Structure 1
């Protein structure tokens, strides 16, 4: 039987210790759930537990084929695609190893379902009438990027979040690097007539960015008592997220088994690739 390629979970580098800890706890849980599969994870860029350490450990255990799942909700383009750049470096460091990368995780329907659950949790998980949702506006808050195409993916997620779910509207804001910011996003919701706004972070894990978003939303709410501002939680280490990571792994495992390369991985990660919403 052919040994399956290793699952390499690649996060974006961060010095946010809470975010990094949540990422590594998630990777450890994946490894426990799949004991028959080599699993490791690391961060591409600043922060502890770099991706290179994860690759070196697995190579030392005899692994030479990697199926890489980027823990990102939106695609990034060169030169800011830290995961692709890190994989290219690893391909140079380990000439006998092959790396094939999957697509970003969002906006996948299962993640939208988790976001919808986070909304219901924020609103109290009590039985509701359709009219309750019709009176609720959602402010979906993305990380923010200097790349317009990356920010457009958050708008796409917002549109998909709005379709068929009965909310009054789903608006977009960004935690940093892009407009509108949280306060401006809430201003827009109020101008559109919102009386209840759920601030929904489009983040995988909690950390400093989530705290900043909550502080900004709370400050705006204190200045605008006529609007109810309700904070929601991040996607977090939900079972659906773990299942989606494995789906992405399986999509590229066959290619990795045939000896995929870092250049091939970059094609998967490019914003123009795989435009469908799976």
Structure 2
């Protein structure tokens, strides 16, 4: 029999973002019976309810003590590598009888690239592609491996689609920012630029992308700057989550950890190797059963640097 599915999001202060996450979980829940999935729940690790502990509690109350946890994140940054596994580890202490298998982040994946292309097509006729630059904007991270993955997405998106070129920018924590990314496009000769957010759902940071892009466009009236929509709640995204679910259950999870900041001493990040794995304190989460309050969110690796671990009792190594 198939195991339950737990969808774990980062969390957002945006009511629209929370509502879209809830709609997406409902979408996957409606698809679940056709896939033999007995139950689907979703929760956040911080910033908004419902917390992960509530979602796990619902599964346990329904008799579902085995589940696959899929991180609803695009890149393998700190949340997927440390925060979510640590939060799930805390649930093992809260519910000693449960076990789970941990899936990998969603991107980069051809489905995501196709969905991004659909969003771009909504603001740009295909005939205009040859003279258009695309600025793919990621969240940004202090993890260089995660930032490099956004660059990879931009390159994969550009390949074979007929755009003039693609550049990469970040809305927080990493350079170049949105204005700098747009300026790079301008200096490379672009007169028409589509800003393409690499984000799933609405939130504070996607709103900031729109604000910064519009401000730049106002200051450069000679440029045609267009802003594509987010990936959003859709069937394609649900299909990808289900794919990650089946990967986790089958043990067929492939992640490249050769440049993981928590495993490899990258220049300037040597202090992160083997850092302790601690979850965020969720504002709606009850105190941990042993009375520990975890501050900060260092990330330690159990996340698959026990290669090939079958997570029978919550081990969540990614069989790379």
Report the TM-score when normalising by structure 1. 0.88
CA RMSD of aligned residues (A): 1.9
- CA distance in structure 2 between the partners assigned to 1:262 and 1:88 by the alignment: 7
Equivalence for 1:4: 2
- CA distance in structure 2 between the partners assigned to 1:66 and 1:72 by the alignment: 18
Listed one character per residue, the Cα deviations across residues 222-273 of structure 1 (whole Å, up to 9, x for unaligned) are 10111100010000112111101111111122459x863433x2x22xxxx7
Q: Structure 1 stretches (4+) deviating beyond 6 angstroms?
A: none
Task: Give 2:143's match in structure 1, choosing from 143, 147, 154.
Answer: 147
Task: Give 2:20's match in structure 1, choosing from 3, 12, 22.
Answer: 22
| Greater helix fraction, Structure 1 or Structure 2 | 1
* SS state at 1:81 partner: helix
Equivalent pair of 2:137/2:196 in contact (CA under 8 Å): yes
Report the TM-score when normalising by structure 2. 0.77
Equivalent pair of 1:30/1:242 in contact (CA under 8 Å): yes
Equivalent pair of 1:18/1:208 in contact (CA under 8 Å): no
- CA distance in structure 2 between the partners assigned to 1:170 and 1:247 by the alignment: 28
- CA distance in structure 2 between the partners assigned to 1:230 and 1:77 by the alignment: 31
The alpha-carbon deviation at position 15 of structure 1 amounts to 2.4
In the TM superposition, what are the counterparts of 1:72-221 in structure 2 within 5 Å?
72-77=73-78, 81-123=82-124, 126=125, 128-129=126-127, 132-221=128-217
The alpha-carbon deviation at position 177 of structure 1 amounts to 1.1
Equivalent pair of 1:143/1:175 in contact (CA under 8 Å): yes
Contiguous gaps of at least 5 residues in structure 1: none
The alpha-carbon deviation at position 78 of structure 1 amounts to 8.0
Equivalent pair of 1:84/1:262 in contact (CA under 8 Å): no
Question: What is the aligned residue count?
Answer: 260
Equivalent pair of 2:13/2:203 in contact (CA under 8 Å): no
Over 3 Å counting, the alpha-carbon distance change for 1:78 and 1:201 in structure 2 is closer
Over 3 Å counting, the alpha-carbon distance change for 1:45 and 1:80 in structure 2 is farther
* SS state at 1:145 partner: coil
- CA distance in structure 2 between the partners assigned to 1:58 and 1:223 by the alignment: 52
The alpha-carbon deviation at position 13 of structure 1 amounts to 2.7
- CA distance in structure 1 between the partners assigned to 2:251 and 2:46 by the alignment: 26
Over 3 Å counting, the alpha-carbon distance change for 1:78 and 1:135 in structure 2 is closer
- CA distance in structure 1 between the partners assigned to 2:19 and 2:312 by the alignment: 30
Equivalent pair of 2:119/2:228 in contact (CA under 8 Å): yes
Equivalent pair of 1:8/1:66 in contact (CA under 8 Å): yes
Equivalent pair of 2:73/2:80 in contact (CA under 8 Å): no
- CA distance in structure 1 between the partners assigned to 2:193 and 2:158 by the alignment: 14
The alpha-carbon deviation at position 85 of structure 1 amounts to 1.1
The alpha-carbon deviation at position 46 of structure 1 amounts to 2.8
* SS state at 1:210 partner: helix
- CA distance in structure 1 between the partners assigned to 2:123 and 2:197 by the alignment: 12
- CA distance in structure 2 between the partners assigned to 1:80 and 1:259 by the alignment: 15
Equivalent pair of 1:45/1:82 in contact (CA under 8 Å): no
Equivalence for 1:232: 228
The alpha-carbon deviation at position 80 of structure 1 amounts to 6.7
Listed one character per residue, the Cα deviations across residues 146-204 of structure 1 (whole Å, up to 9, x for unaligned) are 11111111011011111111111111111111111100000000000001000000001
